Structure 1
Amino acid sequence: MINYWWVTRPKRRLNSIPEILAVFSEISLDQEWEGQRTAHLTLEEALEQANLKRIGERRDQTGGGARTYRAWVASLGLIFIQESTQKLKLTLAGEAIMEGDSPVEILKHQVIKYQFPSPFSLSRGVNVSERFKVRPFRFLLKLLADDRISYLIEEEIAKIIITEAENETDTCYERIVKRILEFRNIGAGSLDKDFFVKYAPGSGAVNPDHPFSHLMDTANTMVNWIEFTQLAKRDDEKKVRIIDDKIDEVKSILSITPPFIDRPEQQEYFQRKYGLDPKHKKDTRNLTQTKTITAKMIAEQKIKQAFIGESLKSPIGKISTGLIDKIADQTGIEVSIVEETLLKLYPYGAIGSFMTEYFEMAFKGRDEATEFEKATVELFKSVFEFEAQHVGPIGLTPDVYILSHESRYVGIIDNKAYSKYTISNDHRNRMVHNYIKTYSAECYPLAFFSYIAGGFGKNITSQIKDIVDETLIHGSAMSVSNMIKMVENHQYKKYSHDEIRNIFSVDRQILLSDL
């Protein structure tokens, strides 16, 4: 029995889930799962060939690696085994990811709904203690939103929260708040004397050199999952905090307390309830009909897998001839079939998939800033249909230049891959004396300058206003979270270039209400 919160982690981050799900869909969907060792080995080999799993020797030839990955994807409510046929099926959430919906939005809902008990937590080989009746990620978000706590570090999660937070009652919650504050004051002295007996690893063997390692590994994985939701992020001091732009969203999530999903011992019943995507309230699909697997269906799954992989690397706003040719080369399937399939399945592309990577880029500092700049260029090209260039490497220039023939203006953007960017005196002078002066002489008027960053310091609006007052050019600062929201909005109600100019010309930090 595991006497603490526990999540499986063949990989500690969720970024590869869409690609792994695509491999499952190609190899194992609508196939029997239990006891099918050859099928498990085939899936394991496919995951290795796609560089989604480390190549192992697989001495025992049991397909155990594939079963570990299946358990991971199932624990997130994306697949299940149908009881009447014993065949592997996608939940509605799994289907939504395969249809090109934003993996962040889908998995955010799944992570927030994640609960103990579940079919996964009760399963043989896992067996998380039945004393836990808690949605762990809701619990963590509630602590982060509490002014008495305001941040968490992995050590607090490992040594206090995942061992002691048994349920969601006010009594339990208040006790955990008290215990965290106590731990901050006196550290390990606040732990029970029999801590290592009570919270030993599931295997029972404590590593004497790193006795907390099994708890710290779980805490680290859970923080990675929270970061994937884009609701919270570790700062430079490794403290997990709610992202400023997401405080209202977190409050909204916590304002509603849905009931726990019942009957966790009934896997199909539970998974079909847990695996509801945001567009559905009930899973009414009839999945009992037997499908004859045709060559066309196999080709479609191969194309889906290749498309999902490409959509995670760059923003796909529409199906282009270049994309069709690339996927035809990857799969060996005729161009005409690839084109027909992509236009049928993904007529509007799949911008949301790339937003996972774009969000991460905004916090990586100077080392990977160039990728952040190039990605911004691609978003303005592929999504908003500007003429856009990456001009940063030229020198004494901003990072991104955009031009609208439709509304006859240009704009300049500087990307800053920091969580709390402030405009230094040097950066201010560059914007005033180099960037704005250079691009004021273009074919169309310079409409605005803007900064896009992971987040901003508290003085960003006054710093923007200072540049505006000196240059008489409108300016703004856009957080990566709001940039992503703007991209998502654009898929449903397209912004005109005039509207985009207005958004980036507010002379302050751009707020969610501006979008």
Structure 2
Amino acid sequence: MHSIQLTLHASESNPKFRRSWMFPRAIRKIYPWKLAQICQILNQMALNNWSQDIQNEFSRLLTAGNLKGQNDIRDPKSGGARTYISQLESIGLLYRNKKELFFTLAGKSLIDFETPLKVLQHQLLNYQYPSTYSNGRNVRIDPDIRIKPFVFVLKLLKHASIKYLTVDEITFCVVYGHNSGCEDLIIGKVLDFRKGNSSRSDLLNFIDNPLEDLSTPKATQKDNAKKLLVEAINVANTFKNYLISSSLAYEEAGTKNIIISEEFTDVIDDSILNINNFIPYTPGFDEKFTRAYGSWNKKKDTTTNSERKKLNKGEAIISSQFFEYIGNVLITESAEDFISKMTKDFGFNRDLVLDVITPLIPKSLTFFESKYLELSKGGVATARDFELATAELFRTRLGIDATHTGSIHKKGVGGYSDIILSNESLGECAIADTKASSYYTLPSTDYAKMISNYIPNYKQLGLASDHTLGFILYVAGGLGGEIQSKLLTLYKESGFPASAINAKTLIEVAQIRDLKKDHIWEKLKTNKVLKTSDFH
């Protein structure tokens, strides 16, 4: 069934409104840990008195947390802080009540370490025009544009004739994505763009009426079509950064192609089914809309604007720095590297640092999730970091001894797998190989390496020479092709159980409470592509 073309024609549009998408870009890459860090800083401000002095203090704390460029805020009426507030409000983390600011349920969940990646994904999958943001004075997107931009693009990525999009191609969505009925028009433009092997310099040729289609309320007669197109491309690039930050899609290693993340198919498909279900928006009722949008895991936000738990300035700095740290590093229970940094670089007392971070450590893995998924699909550029992170995940979160062996040089022919796992209680070890690939199929070369190198050579490492080999495991960003049948063939030929698990599943398993090491070990022997449900 073909969608109906329902774009806004020049004769129908109002020059006072923008006819294309727009997104705030104070924070260009909205990783969950970064949003949580900013919310944590903001949570320490006097939000009932959003004065210029408070805004300037907020900007200074952002700078101290490496979230904002060095800026002395020489302008006493600097609007820098307001751009961050606008961005948090646009994705449903904050709302306004007169001159006061309050966190939505989604914003509170980020601060409280509650499944941050799921929060961000939910907010983007429900991001819509019209909204409080799209009706803003400096945005003014045409109110007749009714679309969920992230769901719309994800639906395109699932289309058999599209499969991937570049920033240049997303520009067609930015300009012509006025509602879900514009799908065929945009698919046609993308395919025509590809057919001619076109580049960015040709993009303007595919815009029907450049001065009208690219027009914005701020455009002047001096603005030519090329200048307006650059702005549309910048919006497309911001959109890409948002989407990748949520792990719903990723940039294919070695290309500029944006591809859907298959491991999130369920949540994406559900959103596509609801692509035309919008939160009602009425100008002047902005608080009602934003609270509904930000209620993320509940049908309605019925909370009262109660007093927030406040930290002193030192505690706030420690907490903010910790958000960044756990967003990029898989920490152990002690987090000694972070404690050392806080005491040596900032001069904080060790006991104070421990008091602040100890309640946060148990949930810290939820913030590393998006980073781990990014490493798992980065190809050669992230392969070694993915190996190290996977070994650390087994060791510190699953309680299974893991030694990184991928960098150990072997004399003579052959080599070693990336990781050796050990289980002393069972007297067994396992060979684990990681692949920073979004679509790993266990190709014949890797199959041959396992049979002729990794299995015969593992005992030479001396790590588990007195252990029997329990199983073979592949860990990758994504799994596909005929990997299931290849695992069974590998089992039959080698005599050892062979399984595979994707990065998302592994990190979800690491967050299941009270899993026993031996239980996990036995589940890894099941000769299949493993799912989270297999471990419950």
Pair in the same fold by TM > 0.5: yes
Q: Aligned equivalents of 1:217 and 1:92: distance in 2?
A: 30
What SS does the aligned partner of 1:245 have? helix
Q: Do the aligned residues in 2 keep the contact of 1:117 with 1:132 (CA within 8 Å)? A: yes
Number of the residue aligned with 1:285: 303
User: Any conservation in 2 of the 1:448–1:501 contact (CA below 8 Å)?
Assistant: no
Asked if structure 2 preserves the Cα contact closer than 8 Å seen for 1:233 and 1:243, the reply is yes
Secondary structure of 1:212's match? helix
Residues 1:227 and 2:247 aligned together: no
How far residue 113 of structure 1 moved from its aligned partner, in angstroms, is: 1.0
- Deviation string 1:42-89 (CA, Å, 9 cap, x unpaired) is 222221222111224645343322221221122111122333xx2322
In terms of mean alpha carbon deviation, does 387-396 or 258-267 score higher? Answer: 258-267
User: Which segments of 5 or more consecutive residues in structure 2 lack a partner in the other structure?
Assistant: 1-16, 410-414
Q: 1:397 aligns with which of 407, 411, 416?
A: 416
1:260-271 alignment to 2 at 5 Å? 260-263=279-282, 265-271=284-290
RMSD: 3.1
Note the C-alpha offset of 1:502. Answer: 3.6
Which one-letter code corresponds to 1:123 in the other structure?
G
CA contact (8 A) 2:279 2:292 kept: no
Instruction: Tell me how far 1:358 sits from its aligned partner.
Output: 0.6
DSSP 3-state at the match of 2:179: coil
Residue in 1 aligned with 2:515?
495
Q: Secondary structure of the residue that 1:30 maps to in structure 2?
A: coil
User: Who is 1:121 aligned against?
Assistant: 134
Helix, strand or coil at the partner of 1:32 = coil
Q: 1:208 Cα shift?
A: 6.6
The match for 1:480 among 491, 503, 510 is 503
- Give 1:503's aligned amino acid: K
Aligned to 2:473: 450
1:411 maps to 430
Equivalent residue pairs, number: 499
Match of 1:460 in 2: 483
Residue identity (%): 26
Contact 1:389/1:400 (8 A) holds in 2? yes
1:12 alignment partner, one of 23, 28, 40? 28
* AA of the residue aligned to 1:150: K
The corresponding residue for 1:241 is: 259
- Cα distance change of structure 1 residues 416 and 202 upon mapping to structure 2, 3 Å threshold: farther
User: Offset of 1:399 from its aligned partner?
Assistant: 1.7
Distance in 2 of aligned mates of 1:153 and 1:122: 28
Of 249-258 and 408-417, deviating more is: 249-258
> Who is 1:434 aligned against?
453
Q: CA deviation at 1:316?
A: 4.4
Structure 1 residue 109: deviation in Å?
Answer: 0.6
1:504: Cα distance to partner?
2.5
Alpha-carbon distance between aligned partners in 2 of 1:424 and 1:106, rounded to the nearest angstrom = 36
1:21 pairs with 2:64: no
C-alpha distance in 1 between matches for 2:204 and 2:18: 24
- Separation in 2, partners of 1:311, 1:461: 34
Query: Using a 3 Å threshold, how does the CA distance of structure 1 residues 404 and 274 change in structure 2: closer, same or farther?
Result: same
CA distance in 2, matches of 1:265, 1:347: 41
TM alignment of 1:105-184, pairs within 5 A:
105-159=118-172, 161-168=173-180, 171-178=181-188, 180-181=190-191, 184=194
> Residue 93 of structure 2 contacts residue 107 of structure 2 at CA under 8 Å; is this kept in 1?
yes
Stretches of structure 1 lacking an aligned partner (at least 5 in a row): none
Alignment of 1:345-360 (within 5 A): 345-346=359-360, 348-360=362-374
1:214 and 2:231 correspond:
yes
State the SS of the aligned residue for 1:446: strand
Cα distance change on mapping 1:260 and 1:406 into 2, 3 Å: farther
Aligned in 2, Cα 1:352/1:53: closer, same or farther, shift over 3 Å? same
Check conservation: 1:79, 1:88, Cα contact below 8 A.
yes
> What does the per-residue CA deviation read over 1:236-263, in whole Å, with 9 as the maximum and x for residues that have no partner?
5433332233333322332345442433
| Change in 2 beyond 3 A, CA 1:432/1:123 | same
- CA apart distance, 1:457: 4.9
- The partner residue of 2:526 within 480, 488, 506 is 506
Aligned residue among 308, 311, 326 for 2:326: 311
User: For 1:415, what is the secondary structure of its paired residue?
Assistant: strand
| Contact 1:144-1:152 at 8 Å conserved across structures | yes
| Aligned amino acid, residue 525 of structure 2 | S
User: Aligned runs of 1:77-92 on 2, under 5 Å?
Assistant: 77-83=92-98, 86-92=99-105
Q: 1:201–1:214: 8 Å Cα contact kept in structure 2?
A: no
Which of 384, 387, 391 pairs up with 1:377?
A: 391
Deviates more, 1:356-365 or 1:249-258: 249-258
- The secondary structure found in structure 2 opposite 1:394 is coil
Partner Cα distance (1:65, 1:323) in 2: 29
**Which amino acid is the alignment partner of residue 400 of structure 2?**
F
Secondary structure in 2 matching 1:233: strand
Could you tell me whether the CA contact under 8 Å between 1:451 and 1:477 is conserved in 2? yes
Tell me if structure 1 keeps the 8 A contact 2:128–2:278: no
Cα deviation, residue 347, structure 1: 6.6
Q: From the superposition, tell whether residues 184 and 313 of structure 1 become closer, same or farther in structure 2 (CA, over 3 Å).
A: closer
CA distance in 1, matches of 2:477, 2:120: 21
Deviation string 1:416-445 (CA, Å, 9 cap, x unpaired) is: 212233445553343223322343553332
Cα distance in structure 2, aligned partners of 1:45 and 1:262: 35
